[in-house]
Structure 1
């Protein structure tokens, strides 16, 4: 079979547009409506998406402006995906869990459990927290700095994957006749002592169907790219043009060899904000209906958050983006991307806030199914992407539009599957099952 692209459905309660919850076609309480998520999962699975992707924040958005956003009440991702595993059969289930305000044993145990519950469909989006407000929910007055967050993340990954290898695949014999429940020779105690963590192990969950749940990352800074090259199997990234995406793709794939990795062992899936219409004018009208609901102060508050946790409320809406210091608490790659956009197009603060109200800096496609498929194909066939993480303005309508319009067009071109070919997320993504590190060392 010729190379085919991968698709993730990035679910965000009411949708990715910051004003989506105000639209008459969107259920405003979607963040805590399991029936809504069950419907979305089934739409995506029927369209043969590789995975559902759920982001997370472990601090509620607060304040006057935050009270105008639907960003403060939503399910904890692992709990949600565990429930969705019972009403789906094939689609992957990727949840975000931060390495900044979690412990490795908890994360290892939860994702191994999800992998068992789903029959091998779990993925962990390994992130360092970029929301400074999270620190005060975990006994800290200040957020961890950029360098410390990444140092902690690298060690965190090492511990989690080590715990996932606590047992060899056939360790649990469960032999009633002999009375042996597991083979002690196939149990491995991690006994990790490092800069950030002391973890004895072993994990109290058998090795999962995939060996390890799929490791996903979203860092695009220099430090983030190096961590991804060392540890990630899927990378989500924000790129604003084909040229930028090609440069990122080549750079990240080029970092793999020193870690003993092949280019195809890492799938790069840029985020794409998509609005689908029967005609280009219809799609544009759909998008403008959401844009008309954006309050300028809300757009600027979102912008400040995405730039790295800056309060921009004291700056004039019709003035330029102010000169900001390099963020130490947020996403440096996103700060650079949005600053470049503002300078390139000479946007005022309000205009830039309105500009990112839908895709938060991700590449935007507004048009017919054929037009959108043309652009996805161009990126896929020209060294910019192995697939895409799809963001839609509103749910469920935006995902239904993509599933019913764009997916059949991609399938018609032979660019996307018509049936699932594997039983696990790894198999559908074309990723190898990892060997147990302890068994390999003993060989």
Structure 2
């Protein structure tokens, strides 16, 4: 029998996309706790591995140097703080993994390690950290910097940040706590150590003020598509979230990252690659296509360009809107730009038409009945493009509910989705081993990483 694959859910702590909030079935109460609680329970009942909440540290100003289009259309704003949302969900769920984005650009390793260790303890081992380096000038400016640092500098800081955070998680051994009321001994000092990490970009003394997390390390998620991003992901990530415009580009990415993981001394099977897909489910293919066309009609081309400008940190309105997309050196998400360029050239789209398409983009283009979508997902896995999928909802909660009702039973019937959770932690449900203490040394191998003296 073929092995089951993994399902993750992508959900903003705010409105979905630039038009998802306009869908007739979209709930408007994204500022209320019930919106997240009910969606998380729906996904857990369907046995999703994890719920992933991205983040943005600015109201984007990527279009025409103004935040007006972002506010008008909902491109990247508003966004609630995701770890607060996940803390709420931790108490209302028991198995689904809880993953949030935190940037290495504007935080300190000690604070991030402490927060995710806390969430891992309070959720019973279900925390995950999506490691990003940020991609907007507006984010840098919110933290007192004039612009986004160069990509090489951002990734160098991210590597040091990961080295420091993992050493902090390892600063307590698994059996450091004693809690012997009779003797009065809470912990074993000899099982707790300083970190004294000194890098070029970050430093921390340690030890962490939180005992070692239940998972050893919270699950590390990464989404870099540039050469630097792929290398960081292959070295550190347990789960890689990616996005592709074609199965061919997905197969290339999958093979490349697995090869890089092997070159870094890791088991490629211990790295889960989950491409984003935005299924549009209908009673049959014609019905689903009609639903998608109706969704596309909600898109203002400028709204789509506002969303794209937010993702690639480049204002495309500086170019001829009725001309082709030029070749650009973008400072934002390179993966998104390469996918957009691939699609624009294949379909011969103008910049304006590209905005219309991007505003209602269905990543993976899985449009059809539950059986059609299951066929497409099986093809991606069987051809070596994916270990599972990140389901991106066009609107919440309707897109998730339709997927759960029509696609999940079909995947289970085919033996491609498990009936029950494998364990209680996110690592167990992903089929990933719990890192031993000092596993960070293996992941940092070859970088001349700074080490604690112990």
- Specify if TM > 0.5: yes
> Is 1:318 the equivalent of 2:322?
yes
2:274–2:387 Cα contact (<8 Å) kept: yes
1:119–1:424 Cα contact (<8 Å) kept: yes
Partner-residue secondary structure (3-state), 2:234: helix
Within a 5 Å distance, the mapping from 1:343-422 to structure 2 comes to: 343-359=345-361, 362-422=363-423
Within a 5 Å distance, the mapping from 1:68-87 to structure 2 comes to: 68-70=72-74, 71-87=76-92
| Matches of 2:361 and 2:431, distance apart in 1 | 28
| Structure 2 alignment gaps of length 5 or more | 62-66, 442-451
Alpha-carbon deviations, 1:176-195, whole Å to 9, x = none?
11111100110021110110
Identify if the C-alpha distance between structure 1 residues 14 and 202 changes in structure 2 by more than 3 Å, giving closer, same or farther: closer
The alpha-carbon deviation at position 197 of structure 1 amounts to 1.2
| Matches of 1:442 and 1:2, distance apart in 2 | 47
Identify if the C-alpha distance between structure 1 residues 258 and 23 changes in structure 2 by more than 3 Å, giving closer, same or farther: closer
Partner-residue secondary structure (3-state), 1:174: strand
1:119–1:209 Cα contact (<8 Å) kept: yes
Tell me the residue number matched to 1:334: 336
> Is 1:20 the equivalent of 2:20?
yes
> Is 1:52 the equivalent of 2:57?
no
The alpha-carbon deviation at position 17 of structure 1 amounts to 4.2
Tell me the residue number matched to 2:274: 269
Q: CA RMSD in A?
A: 2.0
Decide which moves more: 228-237 or 56-65. Answer: 56-65
| Matches of 1:52 and 1:72, distance apart in 2 | 20
Identify if the C-alpha distance between structure 1 residues 17 and 283 changes in structure 2 by more than 3 Å, giving closer, same or farther: farther
Tell me the residue number matched to 1:114: 119
The alpha-carbon deviation at position 15 of structure 1 amounts to 5.8
| Matches of 1:417 and 1:184, distance apart in 2 | 43
The alpha-carbon deviation at position 342 of structure 1 amounts to 1.3
> Is 1:240 the equivalent of 2:245?
yes
Q: TM-score, normalised by structure 1?
A: 0.95
Q: TM-score, normalised by structure 2?
A: 0.93
The count of aligned residue pairs is 438
> Is 1:204 the equivalent of 2:215?
no
| Matches of 1:257 and 1:303, distance apart in 2 | 34
Alpha-carbon deviations, 1:55-114, whole Å to 9, x = none?
000102353311222332222111100110000010000100011111111110110001
Within a 5 Å distance, the mapping from 1:247-286 to structure 2 comes to: 247-286=252-291
2:321–2:351 Cα contact (<8 Å) kept: yes
Partner-residue secondary structure (3-state), 1:235: strand
Residue of 208, 219, 229 corresponding to 2:234: 229
The alpha-carbon deviation at position 246 of structure 1 amounts to 1.3
Tell me the residue number matched to 2:70: 66
The alpha-carbon deviation at position 317 of structure 1 amounts to 3.0
Tell me the residue number matched to 1:102: 107
Tell me the residue number matched to 1:11: 11
Alpha-carbon deviations, 1:367-419, whole Å to 9, x = none?
11000000101111121110000012111100000011101100000000111
| Matches of 1:59 and 1:65, distance apart in 2 | 14
